[in-house]
């Protein structure tokens, strides 16, 4: 066996759980990345609060285990989140990735997965938190927008930023065309964020993410790189 083949077989993969509610385009990007033999993570679970979510069919295509719970069958958010947390624990996942998961979390859930749960938002945070971001970006007249991957905190779309990708806002953009352009960046930076975390290249200091022991890299001209910090 060659050294290269041996290295690929010995890659330690961090298990992740992906939480979805809708179509699952970012799930597909993560699944495609995790299918690569040298990628340092694997999806142990896809969970949805909507039993008919389109994303579940993507998980099935990749042979990824899925579970669903309908949040409407629970008395309150805390009870539902406790059940979700137990399912994640049972999967063995060490990192939770939100990919279009349309639920707010209880404080207990956020604290339980603090620094082990990340989200992707279709704007350059802290700008345009919340919903209808593409419409708001166009109305505001910004020239650049994009996407952000961040660790999750209790506030909506708040938490230490891991990586961002930027795209131009064109004069004739509609919310739909702008969304499509941003999605191409989302599909690049989300797997990149997972890779950096899985390989131990991120640390949180004073609620800011520092990238450790990794040279800056740019996947394309729209992705904003971090400056590496060497110990």
Please tell me the distance from the alpha carbon of residue 219 to that of residue 225, in angstroms, as a whole number.
9
Other beta carbons within 10 Å of 214: 17
Residue from 145, 142, 140, 181 nearest 164 by CA: 145
Distances (CA, A) of 109 to 41, 169, 211: 23, 36, 26
User: What are the Cα distances from residue 135, in Å, to 95, 132, 224?
Assistant: 31, 6, 23
Marked catalytic residue, from 121, 134, 201, 226: 121
- Rounded Cα distance, 39 and 218, in Å: 18
Phi, psi angle pair for 35, to nearest 5°: -75, -15
Q: What is the CA radius of gyration of the chain?
A: 18
**Is position 121 annotated as part of the catalytic site?**
yes
Active site residue ranges: 121
């Amino acid at each position: 066996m060659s050294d290269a083949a041996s290295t690929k077989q010995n890659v330690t993969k961090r298990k992740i759980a992906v939480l979805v509610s809708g179509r699952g385009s970012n799930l597909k990007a993560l699944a495609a990345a995790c299918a690569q033999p040298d990628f340092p993570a694997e999806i142990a679970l896809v969970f949805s609060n909507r039993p008919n979510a389109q994303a579940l069919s993507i998980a099935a295509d990749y042979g990824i285990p899925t579970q669903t719970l309908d949040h409407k069958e629970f008395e309150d958010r805390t009870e539902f989140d406790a059940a979700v947390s137990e399912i994640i624990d049972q999967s063995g996942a060490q990192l939770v990735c939100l990919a279009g998961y349309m639920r707010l979390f209880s404080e207990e859930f956020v604290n339980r997965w603090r620094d082990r749960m990340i989200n992707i938002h279709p704007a350059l945070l802290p700008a345009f938190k919340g919903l209808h971001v593409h419409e708001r970006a166009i109305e505001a007249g910004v020239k650049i927008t994009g996407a952000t991957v961040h660790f999750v905190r209790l506030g909506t779309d708040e938490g230490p930023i891991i990586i961002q990708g930027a795209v131009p806002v064109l004069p004739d953009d509609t919310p739909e065309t702008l969304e499509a352009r941003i999605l191409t960046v989302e599909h690049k930076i989300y797997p990149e964020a997972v890779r950096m975390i899985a390989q131990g290249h991120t640390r949180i200091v004073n609620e800011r993410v520092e990238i450790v022991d990794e040279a800056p890299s740019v996947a394309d001209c729209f992705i904003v790189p971090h400056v590496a910090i060497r110990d």
